[in-house]
Copies of this chain bind each other. A is one copy, B any other.
Amino acid sequence: MSVEVTGDPAPTGYERSCEAAGDVDHGRAIRDVLDRVGDKWSLLVVATLRDERLRFSELQRHIPGISQRMLTLTVRQLERDGLITRTVYAEVPPRVEYELTDLGGTLITLAMALADWAIENHPHIEESRAAYDAAHQR
């Protein structure tokens, strides 16, 4: 039952690594989602849209550090993945609003769990880092 290397473009073996991570062949799903979740801005955008639909500029104002380009790319990705919807109003000046889909809503739960873990364990991590740095500094 050796792992067959298919003719995929440029796997770098990462997909196969996901599969070997413990579960079955859901590696691609995990990798896909991880790539999105791991994205610097995606979760932030989703979180920002949690309880209000916002237009582009509002979104950008709610997420101080993001550039216009990155916001554009991020919302495109999220829209493509069905996590948010993009609604264009034929007005002048043009208005575009973004809203979380149901699927995006379910992701919030995960994000919150992650955030909770982060908040709860961050002191521990910081402490560990300090200890490590103290031990390894020269």
Q: Are the C-beta atoms of A40 and B14 separated by less than 8 Å?
A: yes
How many positions in chain A have a CB within 8 Å of any CB in the partner chain? Answer: 58
Q: Which of B13, B20, B23, B50 is A62 in contact with, Cβ under 8 Å? A: B20
Using known A-B contacts A14-B65, A117-B33, A118-B30, determine if residue A125 contacts B82 with beta carbons closer than 8 Å: yes
Instruction: List residues of A whose CB falls within 8 A of some B CB.
Output: 3, 11-18, 20-23, 26, 28-30, 32-34, 37-41, 43-44, 47-48, 50, 62-66, 79-82, 103, 106-107, 110, 113-115, 117-119, 121-122, 124-125, 127-129, 132-133
**Which chain B positions have C-beta within 8 A of A79?**
132
| Nearest opposing residue in chain B for A61, CB measure | B20
- Distance from A10 Cβ to chain B, minimum over Cβ atoms (Å): 11
List chain B residues, Cβ under 8 A from A21. 44, 47-48, 63
The listed residue (B13, B115, B125) touching A81 by CB distance below 8 A is B125
The answer on a CB contact under 8 Å between B82 and A124 is yes
User: Judging by beta carbons under 8 Å apart, are B106 and A117 in contact?
Assistant: yes
CA distance in complex: A65, B19 (Å): 11
List B contacts of A103 (CB < 8 A).
Answer: 121, 124-125, 128
